[in-house]
């Protein structure tokens, strides 16, 4: 075998090994992130519930969002899932844990508040900390007391928390009466 053919064979083997490692890494990350990918694409719902809500799961309404990122505070959210039988909205929230991992920032990192077109505030917030993933730290979040049938517009405010103080919120219109809710 000539020297150039030997080098070509060596190069081919090294490149094949590198490509195999890269493909294996991508497949590993995809399988490790599968739940997050499904929630990000609306194929899995970011729900958690109490005992009375278990019977409300047969009537979930989807509130789809056009824009799901809050760049200023570096947060992404899922679509919203409204449970009309218990007047509760569920959604998921991702953030960069490295950016918000400090001793002066509490475990919940953010507070969320819904405010409707009449100025009613819905602050009955609960959350569950989910897995840390490639997407960032994940929270399942919900707020109760919201009856979409009585609301023309609903806004979400996400407040970063630092030293037990609310910082300037990010705000988005998440629902307008003009939009039909899809049953999921």
Q: What does DSSP say about strands 125-133 and 80-83: parallel, antiparallel, or unpaired? A: unpaired
DSSP helix/strand/coil, 68: coil
Q: Which residues pair with 83 in a beta bridge?
A: 88
* Burial of 172 (C-beta count, 10 Å sphere; 0-12/13-18/19+): middle
Detail the DSSP E strand segments found in 98-178: 110-116, 121-122, 125-133, 136-144, 153-162, 165-166, 170-176
Least confident of 103-107, 147-151, 170-174: 103-107
CB atoms within 10 A of CB 7: 10
- Dihedral angle sign, alpha carbons of residues 77, 82, 87, 88: negative
Q: Report d(CA 136, CA 115) in Å as an integer.
A: 27
Q: Which residues pair with 166 in a beta bridge?
A: 161
Q: Report d(CA 130, CA 94) in Å as an integer.
A: 9
> Model confidence over 5-60: pLDDT tens digits?
778 887 888 888 899 888 877 776 666 566 666 666 666 666 666 655 565 566 88
Length of the chain: 184
Mean pLDDT across 54-82: 83
- CATH class for domain 37-183? mainly beta
Mean pLDDT across 95-104: 75
Detail the DSSP E strand segments found in 19-162: 61-63, 69-70, 75-77, 80-83, 88-95, 110-116, 121-122, 125-133, 136-144, 153-162
Q: Report d(CA 6, CA 12) in Å as an integer.
A: 10
Average pLDDT of every residue of the chain = 80
* Domain ranges within the chain, ordered by starting residue: 3-32, 37-183
Six token digits for residue 64: 């789809």
Mean pLDDT across 96-121: 82
């Amino acid at each position: 075998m000539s020297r150039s053919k030997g080098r070509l064979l060596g190069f081919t083997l090294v490149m094949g090994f590198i490509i195999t490692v890269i493909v294996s890494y991508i497949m590993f990350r995809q399988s490790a992130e599968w739940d997050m990918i499904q929630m990000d694409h609306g194929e899995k719902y970011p729900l958690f519930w109490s005992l009375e809500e278990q019977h409300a799961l047969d009537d979930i309404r989807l509130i789809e969002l056009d824009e799901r990122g809050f760049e200023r505070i570096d947060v992404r959210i899922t679509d919203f899932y409204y449970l009309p039988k218990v007047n509760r909205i569920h959604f998921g929230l991702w953030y960069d844990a490295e950016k918000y991992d400090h001793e002066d920032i509490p475990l919940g990192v953010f507070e969320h508040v819904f405010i409707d077109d009449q100025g009613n505030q819905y602050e009955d917030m609960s959350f569950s900390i989910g897995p840390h993933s490639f997407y960032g730290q994940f929270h399942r979040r919900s707020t109760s007391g919201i009856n979409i049938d009585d609301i023309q517009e609903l806004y979400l405010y996400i407040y970063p928390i630092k030293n037990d103080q609310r910082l300037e919120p990010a705000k988005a219109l998440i629902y307008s009466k003009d939009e039909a809710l899809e049953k999921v």
